Amino acid sequence: MLCVHLLKMKKLEAKYVPIGDGEKIKFCYLLNSSPLPTNVIAAPSKLPKELGMDKYLDYDTQFDKSFLEPLRTIMDDIGWEEGNDQSTLDQFF
């Protein structure tokens, strides 16, 4: 999480407000090579560039968790299979 400790560590507590209770957040998944002892952090809107975490973002996991997993849930509910090239519009009716 984008917590007080991380903001203090980078001396950004005056520029950014820590995440508060009940606030909406966005998750950012990190590569194993990240200097942080976690694989995910959160930010209120977007990840501040000053943290220098851009090069440690795991874009594949981010895409899978935020786009493909919800899509798979919908596909399971309507009986579609991932990678099935034989889908037609008739399946909607």
3-state secondary structure 4-53: HHHHHHCCCCCCCCCCCCCCCCEEEEECCCCCCCCCEEEECCCCCHHHCC
Structural domain includes residue 89: no
Using the predicted structure, report yes or no on whether residue 1 has a pLDDT greater than 70.
no
Residue 90 lies in a domain: no
CA distance 11 to 3: 12
Domain containing 45: what range? 4-80
Mean pLDDT, range 17-34, rounded to an integer? 87
Q: Region 14-34: what's the mean pLDDT? A: 86
Q: Which residue has the higher pLDDT, 40 or 19?
A: 40
Residue 21 confidence (pLDDT) above 70? yes
pTM, to two decimals:
0.70
Q: What 3-state DSSP class applies to 1?
A: coil
DSSP 57: B
Distance separating alpha carbons of residues 53 and 11, to the nearest angstrom: 15
Count how many domains the chain has: 1
pLDDT of residue 93: 67
The residues with which 41 forms a beta bridge, in sequence order, are 28
Instruction: Please write the tens of the pLDDT for every residue from 45-93.
Output: 778 888 888 899 999 999 999 999 999 999 888 888 777 566 566 766 6
